[in-house]
Amino acid sequence: MKQQALDQEVRKLLIDNEIRMRSANLSRLERIQRTRHEKHIYLPLQFRSDVDTNKIYECETQARQHVLYHITPFLNDIVGLYLCRSLFHKLYIEYPSWIENIFTRKSAKSNEIMLDIFTSTDVWDQNDWRNKWFRRFCRVLRGELSPLFKALGIPHIDVSRMSACIREVTRVQGLLQVTDSELGRIPHLWVIGFWFGKITDDDVVLAEDYWAD
**pLDDT of res. 25:** 67
pLDDT > 90: percent of the chain: 26
Say if CB 106 and CB 188 are below 8 A apart.
no
Whether residue 149 is predicted with pLDDT greater than 90 in this model: the reply is: yes
Alpha carbons 115 and 70: distance in angstroms, whole number:
13
Query: What value does the mean pLDDT of the chain take?
Result: 78
pLDDT, average across residues 11-21: 54
Alpha carbons 115 and 126: distance in angstroms, whole number:
19
To which H or E segment does residue 12 belong?
Answer: helix 2-14
Q: Cα torsion for 57, 67, 197, 29, to the nearest 10°?
A: -40
Using alpha carbons only, give the angle 90, 91, 94 rounded to the nearest 5 degrees.
Answer: 80
- Over residues 76-127, the pLDDT tens digits come to 999 999 998 889 989 988 888 899 888 888 877 888 889 999 988 888 998 9
Alpha carbons 144 and 52: distance in angstroms, whole number:
18
**pLDDT of res. 180:** 54
Position 58 confidence tier, pLDDT thresholds 50, 70, 90? confident
Say if CB 115 and CB 193 are below 8 A apart.
yes
Read off the amino acid at residue 21: M
Rounded (to 5) percent helix, strand, coil in the chain: 60, 0, 40
Nearest partner of 121 among 49, 39, 196, 43, judged by Cα: 196
User: Is the CA virtual torsion 189, 77, 65, 142 positive or negative?
Assistant: negative
- Over residues 175-203, the pLDDT tens digits come to 876 555 554 445 578 889 988 988 866 54
Say if CB 199 and CB 104 are below 8 A apart.
yes
Question: Which tops the pLDDT comparison, 134 or 105?
Answer: 134
Alpha helices (H) along the chain: 2-14, 17-20, 28-42, 62-82, 85-94, 98-99, 108-118, 132-151, 159-173, 189-196
